Structure 1
Amino acid sequence: MNSYHADFHVHIGRSLGKPVKIAAGSKLTLDNLLYHSAFVKGLDVVTVIDGVCDNVLTEVKQKMDQGDLIPVNGGGLMYRDRLLVILGSEIELAGPHGGAAHFGCWFPDVESASDFNTWLQTVQKNTSLSSQRARTDAATLLEETHTRGGLFVIHHAFTPFKGILGRCVSRIEDFLDPALVDALELGLSADTLMADRLSELANFTFITNSDAHGLDNIAREYNRISMKRPSFNEVRAVLHSVNGRRVEANYGLHPQQGKYYRTRCRHCDTVVSSADDTCLCGNDKGHVYGVWDRLEEISDLAAAVHPKHRPPYIHHVPLRDIPGLGPRGYQKLMAAFGTELAVRQRATHSQLTDVLGEHMGQIVARALQGDFTWQVGGAGTYGKLVM
Structure 2
Amino acid sequence: MSLQKCFADLHVHVGSDWLGNPVKITGSKSLTITAILEEASRRKGLDIVGVIDAHVPAVQEELVHLIKEGGAEELKDGGIRFEETVLILGSEIEIYDAACNGPIHVLCYFPSLAKMEAFTEWLSYKMTNINLSSQRFYGTGRELQEYVHSHGGWFIPAHVFTPFKSMYGKGVRSSLREVFHPDIIDGIELGLSSDSDMADQIEELHEYPFVTNSDAHSAIRLAREYQLVEVKEPTFLEFGKALRQSDGRGIRKNFGMNPKLGKYHRTVCAACFHPGSPDDKSCEACGSRKMVKGVADRIEELSTSDSTVPARPDYIYQVPLDYLPGVGKKTYEKILDAFGTEMSIIHEASFEEMIEIIPKNVAASILAMRAGELTIAEGGGGVYGKVQPKLS
Q: Which position in structure 2 is the counterpart of 1:245? A: 249
Identity over aligned pairs, percent: 37
Quick one: which amino acid aligns to residue 19 of structure 1? P
Q: Determine whether 1:113 maps to 2:100.
A: no
Aligned residue pairs, count: 384
Deviation at 1:13, TM superposition (A): 0.2
Specify the SS of the correspondent of 2:292: coil
TM-score relative to the length of structure 1: 0.96
Which of 102, 106, 109 is the aligned partner of 1:103? 106
Q: Which position in structure 2 is the counterpart of 1:167? A: 170
Q: Which position in structure 1 is the counterpart of 2:287? A: 283
Quick one: which amino acid aligns to residue 7 of structure 2? H
- 1:164-203 → structure 2 map (5 Å cutoff): 164-169=167-172, 170-203=174-207
Which of 313, 316, 338 is the aligned partner of 2:315? 313
Which of 238, 260, 276 is the aligned partner of 1:256? 260
Farther-moved stretch of structure 1 (359-368 vs 334-343): 359-368
Q: Which position in structure 2 is the counterpart of 1:44? A: 47
Which of 327, 332, 339 is the aligned partner of 1:337? 339
Specify the SS of the correspondent of 2:356: helix
Q: Which position in structure 1 is the counterpart of 2:299? A: 295
Q: Which position in structure 2 is the counterpart of 1:123? A: 126
TM-score relative to the length of structure 2: 0.95
Task: Extract unaligned runs of 5+ from structure 2.
Answer: none
Specify the SS of the correspondent of 1:117: helix
Deviation at 1:368, TM superposition (A): 4.0
Q: Which position in structure 2 is the counterpart of 1:153? A: 156
Distance 1:232 1:133 in 2: 26
Structure 1 353/277 Cα, relative in aligned 2: closer, same or farther at 3 Å?
farther
Deviation at 1:378, TM superposition (A): 0.9
Deviation at 1:341, TM superposition (A): 1.0
Q: Which position in structure 1 is the counterpart of 2:141? A: 138
Distance 1:67 1:276 in 2: 58
- Over the aligned positions, Cα root-mean-square deviation in angstroms equals 1.5
Q: Is the 8 A contact 1:124 1:134 kept in 2?
A: yes
Farther-moved stretch of structure 1 (54-63 vs 236-245): 54-63
Distance 1:216 1:275 in 2: 37
Which of 366, 373, 376 is the aligned partner of 1:374? 376
Distance 1:275 1:268 in 2: 18
Q: Is the 8 A contact 2:325 2:362 kept in 1?
A: no
Task: Extract unaligned runs of 5+ from structure 1.
Answer: none
Quick one: which amino acid aligns to residue 78 of structure 1? R
Deviation at 1:275, TM superposition (A): 6.0
Q: Which position in structure 2 is the counterpart of 1:357? A: 359
Distance 1:262 1:121 in 2: 38
Distance 2:147 2:369 in 1: 44
Q: Determine whether 1:218 maps to 2:222.
A: yes
Distance 1:343 1:275 in 2: 43
Cα offsets for 1:184-229 (capped at 9, x unmatched): 1000001001001111111101000000001000000001001101
Q: Is the 8 A contact 2:317 2:369 kept in 1?
A: no
Distance 1:55 1:286 in 2: 39
Q: Determine whether 1:236 maps to 2:248.
A: no
Deviation at 1:360, TM superposition (A): 3.2
Which of 91, 94, 114 is the aligned partner of 1:92? 94
Deviation at 1:337, TM superposition (A): 1.4
Q: Is the 8 A contact 1:263 1:290 kept in 2?
A: yes
